Chains A and B, each alone.
Chain A
Amino acid sequence: MSTDGETTQSLHPLVSKYLRKERMPHMACPGCGIGQILHATLLAIDDLGLTPKDTVWVQGVGCSSRITYSTWIGDNIDAHHGRIFPVATGLKMARPDMNFILFTGDGDCGAIGGNHFIHACRRNLDVTAILFNNGIYGMTGGQVAPTSPVGAVTTTTPYGNIEDPFDMCRLAMAAGASYVARWRSTDFRPLFNSIKKGIQTRGLAFIEVLVQCPTNFGRYVLKTSEPKEVLRWIREHSIYMKDAENLSPEELDGKYLLGEFLHRTDRVGIVDRYQEFLKKYRKD
C-alpha cells in the first residue's frame, strides 16, 4: 500500500483530467479491482461531460472510500462509516442542481449503514451509488462482512461463516431505487454503461460491483494472494441474467446474478417532489 511519494510515470489521460495528481498513486493494494471501477466511472463522467463544478464525489468508510477519497479534482465529501446516504441526502437537498457520485462498500452500505441505504432508496434520492462488494472487511484486515459467503473463513469467523449473505441489489429494488445493476469489476463495458445510465436516471441509481480483494478475501477465504485466483472465484460464483434463465434455483444457489435488474423512469424521487412541494407551499 502506498500513501504518498512522487509519481514519476506518466499518468493516464483520465487521471490527469479528473484526479488530483498529488493524490496519486492511490492507496489500492496490488491486484485490487477498485482501479477498474474508478476507470469506468471516470470514463462515464468524461462521456457525459460532467465537470468538477457540477459533480461531487461522496464516500463512506472502507476500501471503496479511503482509496477514492480526495482524489476527484472537484469537491470530495467523505462521511462517517455508514453515513454516506444521510450525508448525500443533506448535500443533494441543499444542491439539487449538482451530481453526486457515491462510493460505498459492502460493510458501509450493507451493515452499519443498512438502514440509511433502505431509506435513501425509499426516498429515491437522486444520486448514483456505486457499491464495491469485496465480500469482506478489507480496510480493517479481513473480518466477516454481511456479504461474505456461507462457510467463509475470515479473521472473525475462524470456523467458517454461518450467516447468509445479503443480496444488496434485491434490497435496493424492494426499497424503491430507480436503477439497479450488478457487474464484476472485469465487466468493463456494461459497468461503464450502467454508471452512465445511473447518472442520467432521476432517482437513486445503485450499481453493485463484485470486486476482487486478493489481500484479504484472497488470503483468508480462498487461501491465495493471487488476484487471478480471486477473479476466477468471482467468475465461478456469478452468472449473467441471460445465462441463468434456464437454470434451477439449486443450480443458481451461491451465485451472484449479473445484469441490469431495474431501470424505472416512472418514479419521481424526493428531490423532484420537494421542488414541486415548495412551489405549492412557498409564500415568499
Chain B
Amino acid sequence: MSSGVKPGKYFVQGDEAIAEGAIAAGCRYFAGYPITPSSETSEALARRLPEVGGICMQMEDELASIHSVAAASVGGLKSMTVSSGPGISLKLEGLGWGIKNEIPFVVVDVQRAGPSNGVATRVGQGDFYTVRYGSAGGNYCLIALSPKSTQEAFDLTIECFNLSEIFRCPVFLLTDETVGHTRELLVIPEESELKIVERIKPAVPPEQFLMYPLETPEVIHYPFPNIGEGYGICVSPYTHTSKGYASTTQEIQEKMARRLVLKITRNLDRLVRVETRYTEDANFAVVAYGGNARPAMAAVDLAREKGMKVGFFRPIIVWPFPDGEVLKIAEKVKTILVCELNIDGQLSREVDRAARGKAEVYHLGSGGVEPHLPSQIFNEIRRLSA
C-alpha cells in the first residue's frame, strides 16, 4: 500500500487535518457514524481511504463503529474512529474492549457543548474526564493528546497512532469544535520527514509467545500478532491469562489490572508533552488546553504587554496528566487560573490536585458554545492579581 502522504500547503479545517494525519500514519480502516462536529473527518476519509486501498465504513451506530475499528486492528489494519459527546458515550463500551485486549487504535473526540446532545454545532470541553475514566470497571490508564491548531491536529493524530502501537492500547485525540472547524494553514511534510511506528511483530515462534505480558507489566514495544499469522490469538471481554484464556482468579485479575495500569505509569517519561511560555519569571500562570488555549495565550500576551508577570501552560498529552510539570509551575507562581469550557471544573480539578497546595488554583469556566474571549481571561487575571 502506498503511504498516501500528500506533501504541501493546505488551507483546511482541523477535522480534515486529522484525516490526513491518519492516512500518513498508515490508517487503513475507518468506521464512523455521522455526528457534528466530527463528520468532516469521516467525509474526508471516505474520499481519501479508497485512494490508498483503505477501507471506510459508515456503521449503523457508534458501538458498531468502534467495535469494528478495534477488530480491524486485530485483523492487521491501523484503524480509527471519530465522534463527539453523545457518540463518545456509546463508544466507551468498545473502548473497554480495546483497553483490556491491548489493541492499538485511535479514537477522536471532537468535543461539543454538553451534556447529552447539548449544542451540536458549538464548542465545549466537557469530556476531559469522560475519555480518561469513562470505560467502566477501572483498572486501566489511558493516553490522550489534545491539539490547539490544524497543524497540531495533523501532527498529533500521527503521534496518537504511534503511541497506540508502542503502548498497545487505544489512544484518544481529544480535540474540540474550535479546532475541528477552524480553517487554517496545514503543512504536510515529505514522507521521509514523518516518524511512523509500524506494528511490532513477535520474534519468537507461536509456542513461545504470550499474547499478554502479565509477568512484565511495564514492558512497551510489545508485539501484537494479528489473526492469520499462526499465533492462535485469543481476544475476549473477560479477564485473561497471558495466553488470553478467561480467568476468574484474583491472582490473574490482579496481574492483568497491573499490566493495564503499569505499562503507562512506569513509562511516564515517554508521555510528557507540554507547552510553556513566559514561565521563568512568572508569579501567575494561566492554564488551558485544546482550542481554548489560543484565547488564553492571547490573554497572557496582553498581560505581558501591561507588564504583568504572567506565564502560560498547556498540556498537550493531557492523559496521563503531567503532574510533575504542573507542580513545577505551582512551585514558582502564587496563582494559577485554569480556563476551560465547562462549568463543573475538570482540568482545574486536575491542576489543583497536581499543584499540591503550592499555588492557589482558580477555575474560569464556561458552559461552552463560544470559546473564552482573551478579554474575559485577561479581566480575570487582573481581578485575581489585584
Binding-face segment, B60-68, B268-276, B305-313? B60-68
B residues within 8 A CB of A52?
230, 232
Seen from chain B, the residues whose Cβ lies within 8 Å of a Cβ on chain A are 1-2, 4, 29, 31, 50-53, 55, 57, 59-61, 63-65, 67-77, 79, 93-94, 96-97, 226-228, 230-238, 244-246, 248
A residues within 8 A CB of B29?
90, 93-94
Residues 59-73 of A, flagged 1 when their CB comes within 8 A of B and 0 if not, give 101000010011001
**What is the bound-complex CA distance between A87 and B57, given in angstroms?**
13
9 more A-B residue pairs beyond the given contacts A90-B74, A94-B74, with a C-beta to C-beta distance below 8 A:
A70-B234, A70-B244, A75-B231, A86-B59, A90-B70, A93-B72, A116-B63, A283-B51, A284-B4
Does A53 contact B230, Cβ atoms closer than 8 Å? yes
Q: Which secondary structure dominates where chain A touches chain B?
A: mixed
A266 to chain B, nearest CB (A): 24
Does A91 contact B71, Cβ atoms closer than 8 Å? yes
Q: Which residue of the partner chain, among A53, A92, A284, contacts B52 with CB atoms under 8 Å?
A: A284
A residues within 8 A CB of B51?
281-284
Does B93 contact A115, Cβ atoms closer than 8 Å? no
Residues 62-104 of A, flagged 1 when their CB comes within 8 A of B and 0 if not, give 0000100110011111111111011111111111011000000
**Which A-chain residue is minimally distant from B235 (CB atoms)?**
A77
Does B77 contact A94, Cβ atoms closer than 8 Å? yes
Seen from chain A, the residues whose Cβ lies within 8 Å of a Cβ on chain B are 3, 23, 52-54, 56, 59, 61, 66, 69-70, 73-83, 85-95, 97-98, 115-116, 118-119, 274, 277-278, 281-284
Does B97 contact A79, Cβ atoms closer than 8 Å? yes
**Which B-chain residue is minimally distant from A83 (CB atoms)?**
B67
B residues within 8 A CB of A75?
227-228, 231-234
Tell which of A3, A77, A119, A284 has the most Cβ of chain B within 10 Å.
A77
Does B227 contact A80, Cβ atoms closer than 8 Å? no
**Which B-chain residue is minimally distant from A58 (CB atoms)?**
B71
B residues within 8 A CB of A277?
50
Does B235 contact A76, Cβ atoms closer than 8 Å? yes
Does A284 contact B53, Cβ atoms closer than 8 Å? yes
A78/B237 contact (C-beta < 8 A), A90-B79, A93-B29, A281-B51 known: yes
Does B236 contact A78, Cβ atoms closer than 8 Å? yes
B residues within 8 A CB of A119?
59-60, 64
**What is the bound-complex CA distance between A5 and B285, given in angstroms?**
62
Does A284 contact B72, Cβ atoms closer than 8 Å? no
Q: Which residue of the partner chain, among B31, B237, B244, contacts A79 with CB atoms under 8 Å?
A: B237
A88 to chain B, nearest CB (A): 7
A80/B50 contact (C-beta < 8 A), A70-B245, A73-B232, A90-B71 known: no
**Which A-chain residue is minimally distant from B76 (CB atoms)?**
A94
**Which A-chain residue is minimally distant from B245 (CB atoms)?**
A70
Does B233 contact A76, Cβ atoms closer than 8 Å? yes
**What is the bound-complex CA distance between A73 and B236, given in angstroms?**
15
**What is the bound-complex CA distance between A79 and B52, given in angstroms?**
29
Does A61 contact B69, Cβ atoms closer than 8 Å? no
Does A70 contact B76, Cβ atoms closer than 8 Å? no
**What is the bound-complex CA distance between A85 and B60, given in angstroms?**
11
B residues within 8 A CB of A87?
67-68, 70-71
**Which B-chain residue is minimally distant from A54 (CB atoms)?**
B228
B residues within 8 A CB of A93?
29, 55, 57, 68, 72, 75
**What is the bound-complex CA distance between A137 and B319, given in angstroms?**
39
User: Can you list 18 A-B contacts (CB < 8 A)?
Assistant: A56-B228, A69-B246, A74-B232, A75-B228, A75-B231, A77-B233, A79-B71, A79-B237, A80-B93, A86-B67, A86-B71, A90-B71, A90-B75, A93-B55, A94-B73, A95-B75, A97-B228, A98-B228
A residues within 8 A CB of B246?
66, 69-70
**What is the bound-complex CA distance between A82 and B71, given in angstroms?**
14
A residues within 8 A CB of B69?
90
B residues within 8 A CB of A90?
29, 31, 67-75, 79
A residues within 8 A CB of B73?
90, 94
**What is the bound-complex CA distance between A70 and B67, given in angstroms?**
19
**What is the bound-complex CA distance between A73 and B207, given in angstroms?**
12
Does B63 contact A86, Cβ atoms closer than 8 Å? yes
A residues within 8 A CB of B63?
82-83, 86, 116
Q: Which residue of the partner chain, among B2, B236, B244, B245, contacts A284 with CB atoms under 8 Å?
A: B2
**What is the bound-complex CA distance between A90 and B28, given in angstroms?**
11
**What is the bound-complex CA distance between A79 and B66, given in angstroms?**
12
Does B236 contact A70, Cβ atoms closer than 8 Å? yes
**Which B-chain residue is minimally distant from A89 (CB atoms)?**
B68
Does A88 contact B236, Cβ atoms closer than 8 Å? no
Q: Which residue of the partner chain, among A23, A88, A118, A274, contacts B55 with CB atoms under 8 Å?
A: A274
**What is the bound-complex CA distance between A111 and B197, given in angstroms?**
40
**What is the bound-complex CA distance between A83 and B74, given in angstroms?**
15
**Which A-chain residue is minimally distant from B59 (CB atoms)?**
A86
A220 to chain B, nearest CB (A): 25
B residues within 8 A CB of A83?
63-64, 67, 93-94, 97
